[in-house]
Amino acid sequence: MRQAVILAGGKGTRLADSLKGLPKPLVDIDGIPLLERQIISLRDQGFREILVLVNHRAEVIDAFLESKERFGIDIKCVDDGEARGTAGAVFHGLDLLRSRFLVVYGDTLFDVDLDRFWKNHEASGADGSIFLHPNDHPYDSDLVNLDLKHRVIDFAPYPRPEDDFRRNLVNAALYVLERKIFANGVEAGIQDFAKNFFPVCIRDGFTLNGYVSSEYIKDIGTTKRLNRAINDLRSGLVERASLRHKQKAIFLDRDGTLNVQSGYIRNPDELQLIPGVDRALSIFNAAEFRTVVVTNQPVIARGEVSIPMLHRIHGKLETVLGRTGAFLDRIYFCPHHPDSGIPGEVAALKFACACRKPGIGMIEQARDELNLDLDKSWFIGDSTADMLAARRAGLKSVLVRTGEAGSDGKYPVAPDYEFADIQEAATFIVAGSGRLSEALELFLSRIQAGMLVRVVGRARVGKSTVAQVLVGNLRDRGIPAVRISLDAFIRPHDNRVQDGDMLTRFDLDLARKALSPWLDGNSMTIELPIYLRRERTRSKSTEKLHVDRDAVLVVEGVTSGAIDPGVRSHLVLAVIDSERRRAMRFRNEYQSRSWSHSAIENTYRQRGIDENVLIDSWIEGADFVLDMHSVLDEQFIAAPPER
């Protein structure tokens, strides 16, 4: 039988106006006393014995429990007399406690999957487990340091030296304890678990397990915190965050996506965040996405960085994010590398593993530990390894044009979406994708199985993005759909006709030949070329795509209007945008490739001359016109990269 102890001894001095004469545990939380909410949560999750420890107005709390018929379970209210602190109070009531019990603080509102927490503790074999969570102000919080097995190493109370970077793991004041952890007793005086008792336990050789979760647990010890908790409860945030429900996530690569790519990061001083990363994380946090870093760190296998140093590097990452109110829910790293022969390497870490991207071991671990719904989750990265990992795991993939920007060319895979940086990606994922889906609803209703959809429009208006939103919505409706970008058929720069126009920059004969089996009414498997934008050449690899005869094929690109539909019924979707925004995107793109200002402006003018007349004729004949400027406001313009 599972037992819990609730520490309900607080006087609630800072909540006097809200208590209206009641003891602190009975503070009203949207019409229901906090203690009642805690007991119901415990009872509904299988706890049948509850010990309520009180040293202030115990008779009022006991009368309340009696009026509720003790909620149909075994509840004892014990007046433990003088104030002893949290650890001292539990030790004083030890004779009433079982060999294993849960400790709940009486001033916390929570909705936690307690069964998952309890079983994690059992599996750990530890003498106690501490519920840890990230918060949005780790720099001024008391932090807990864990090893790779989630054993507590030490505690880092605030304040700390400015360069003492620690992981964002904050004690949430919820514990599963073995009775034997009190074998050495508790020192005299006021003894708090976090400040006094747990550090002594570590010193005396007891083991503490750190259980990390982003589920909702907040103390309501001030009027401001109380009001915030009530708002969170009314909005549904408290319940939605529970691991009893599937969670949506944003998986994030680290180097080149969050921080500037500058070789291996070997110490915290070398870590520099890409501008806008903090804002992007705040957007995801506010939208209730779990933010999960999955990063290959072969520098560990190379023997150049230790695990403690990597924790310091990640501690800096989380500290810098926390200064702007952003946080990461979890960081997973792969320390392995398959190749040997480097002086000083760690031989035990030199093997082919399942966790190194494009393997999906880290993603699967996060899925299980965080109860993630991968169908509703995304992966943002800067390399083809990231994109392949996303595809293998069934995640929607986003390539950012920072870091490697997909130019590594290691794997023949294209992203679902491509954006300038993580901030632009975050804005699209949280707001833009939904707006586009709504705007496309009427057009989507006209699409039938086996149909060709050509997405036309000028360069840099968002055709690829719109096409992928179409594909995603069709798949959600049970209609198989595939997107093919004609940018794959851009000729290598050295193979282009001098002074040629838009049509000659593309190998349209190759494109038509590749698409012809499907356009003639059959299924097809296509070897799609891969164009490397930064190098302005074509990869030696190709991406293999299969398109069933009854699937919808969405073809997009500036030359998509030149593709004859063959025997297929077809629709044309035109995408337009304001010229100011289109021009800004164009310039941002070529700035990211390190082009000079004059080269960018000359190219912009020339492209307008040889592209716009023909493209505009296709727009005029379209079945549906989507005005991106009316759908997506100015916040969807990516700022120019800082140089």
Give 449-458 pLDDT, tens digit per residue: 999 999 999 9
- The larger pLDDT score, comparing residue 14 to residue 517, is at 517
Residue 226, amino acid: L
Query: How deeply is 100 buried, as exposed, middle or buried, from its count of CB atoms within 10 A (0-12, 13-18, 19+)?
Result: middle
**CA–CA distance, 525 with 544 (Å, rounded to integer):** 7
Q: 546: which strand partners?
A: 525
- Per CATH, the number for 440-643 is 3.40.50.300
Lowest mean pLDDT segment, chosen from 265-269, 274-278, 495-499 = 495-499
Instruction: Provide mean pLDDT across the span 462-483.
Output: 97
Instruction: Provide mean pLDDT across the span 427-453.
Output: 96
**CA–CA distance, 619 with 606 (Å, rounded to integer):** 20
Furthest-apart CA atoms within the chain: distance in Å? 92
Q: Which fold has domain 246-429?
A: Rossmann fold (3.40.50)
3-state SS, residue 522: coil
3-state SS, residue 590: helix
378 Cβ contact list (under 8 Å, min separation 6): 249, 250, 251, 289, 390, 395, 396, 397, 398, 429
pLDDT at 383 over 70: yes
Interior angle at CA 17, CA 195 and CA 225, nearest 5: 45
| Alpha helices for 27-178 (secondary structure H) | 34-44, 58-67, 85-92, 114-124
pLDDT at 120 over 50: yes
pLDDT at 639 over 70: no
**CA–CA distance, 97 with 88 (Å, rounded to integer):** 14
**CA–CA distance, 631 with 628 (Å, rounded to integer):** 5
Q: Percentage of the chain with pLDDT > 90?
A: 82
**What does the pLDDT read at residue 221?**
85
Beta strands 330-334; 290-296: pairing state = parallel
DSSP 475-491: HHTT--EEEEEGGGGBP
First to last CA, the chain: 62
pLDDT at 188 over 90: no
**What does the pLDDT read at residue 57?**
81
Tell me which residue has tokens 């398109």.
547
Task: Evaluate whether 395 touches 289 at the Cβ level (below 8 Å).
Answer: no
Residue 242, amino acid: S
Give me the half-sphere count of Cα atoms (radius 13 Å) on the Cβ side of residue 271. 23
**What does the pLDDT read at residue 6?**
97
Q: 296: which strand partners?
A: 334
**CA–CA distance, 363 with 262 (Å, rounded to integer):** 25
Residue 13, amino acid: T
Q: Residue 195: which region, alpha, beta or left (left: phi > 0; alpha: psi -120 to 50)?
A: alpha
Instruction: Provide mean pLDDT across the span 513-524.
Output: 97
**CA–CA distance, 451 with 439 (Å, rounded to integer):** 20
How many Cβ atoms from other residues are within 10 Å of residue 194's Cβ?
Answer: 17
Task: Name the nearest CA neighbour of 225 among 288, 290, 130, 135.
Answer: 135
**CA–CA distance, 294 with 629 (Å, rounded to integer):** 35
103-112: buried (b, 16+ CB within 10 Å) or exposed (e) per residue? bbbbbbbbbb
Instruction: Provide mean pLDDT across the span 401-407.
Output: 93
Task: Evaluate whether 572 touches 621 at the Cβ level (below 8 Å).
Answer: yes
pLDDT at 19 over 60: yes
What confidence tier does 636 reach under pLDDT thresholds 50, 70, 90?
low
Residue 329, amino acid: D
**CA–CA distance, 172 with 210 (Å, rounded to integer):** 11
What confidence tier does 637 reach under pLDDT thresholds 50, 70, 90?
very low
**What does the pLDDT read at residue 16?**
64
How many Cβ atoms from other residues are within 10 Å of residue 363's Cβ?
Answer: 26
Instruction: Provide mean pLDDT across the span 172-200.
Output: 93
pLDDT at 42 over 90: yes
What confidence tier does 642 reach under pLDDT thresholds 50, 70, 90?
very low
pLDDT at 341 over 90: no
**What does the pLDDT read at residue 128?**
98
Task: Name the nearest CA neighbour of 316 among 164, 145, 148.
Answer: 164
204 to 159, 182, 185, 197, 468: CA distances (angstroms): 25, 11, 11, 11, 58
Instruction: Provide mean pLDDT across the span 258-285.
Output: 96
Task: Evaluate whether 540 touches 469 at the Cβ level (below 8 Å).
Answer: no
- The larger pLDDT score, comparing residue 273 to residue 139, is at 273
Same fold, 246-429 and 440-643: yes
The token duo for 284 is: 């995801």
Instruction: Provide mean pLDDT across the span 508-515.
Output: 96
The token duo for 226 is: 């109380």
Tell me if residue 255 is catalytic: yes
pLDDT at 640 over 60: no
What confidence tier does 11 reach under pLDDT thresholds 50, 70, 90?
low
Q: For all residues of the chain together, what is the average pLDDT? A: 93
Q: Which of 80, 107, 253, 577 is catalytic?
A: 253
**What does the pLDDT read at residue 56?**
77
Lowest mean pLDDT segment, chosen from 174-183, 334-343, 634-643 = 634-643
The token duo for 463 is: 């055709």
- The larger pLDDT score, comparing residue 541 to residue 381, is at 381
The values of phi and psi at residue 116, to 5°, are: -65, -45
Q: Percentage of the chain with pLDDT > 70?
A: 97
The values of phi and psi at residue 527, to 5°, are: -95, 100
**What does the pLDDT read at residue 117?**
98
pTM of the model: 0.93
Give 57-103 pLDDT, tens digit per residue: 888 899 999 998 989 999 999 988 788 899 999 999 999 999 999 99
Q: Enumerate the domain spans of the chain.
A: 2-240, 246-429, 440-643
Tell me if residue 232 is catalytic: no
Handedness of CA 257, 262, 263, 265 (dihedral sign): negative
Task: Evaluate whether 435 touches 632 at the Cβ level (below 8 Å).
Answer: yes
Task: Name the nearest CA neighbour of 294 among 332, 330, 337, 250.
Answer: 332
Q: Which of 111, 127, 255, 386 is catalytic?
A: 255
**CA–CA distance, 442 with 444 (Å, rounded to integer):** 5
Instruction: Provide mean pLDDT across the span 271-278.
Output: 97
Residue 324, amino acid: T
Angle between helix 307-322 and helix 277-286 axes, rounded to 10 deg = 80
DSSP 327-345: --SEEEEE---S----TT-
568 Cβ contact list (under 8 Å, min separation 6): 450, 451, 452, 518, 519, 521, 553
Q: Which fold has domain 2-240?
A: Spore Coat Polysaccharide Biosynthesis Protein SpsA; Chain A (3.90.550)
Task: Evaluate whether 378 touches 432 at the Cβ level (below 8 Å).
Answer: no
587 Cβ contact list (under 8 Å, min separation 6): 600, 604, 640
Task: Evaluate whether 551 touches 427 at the Cβ level (below 8 Å).
Answer: no
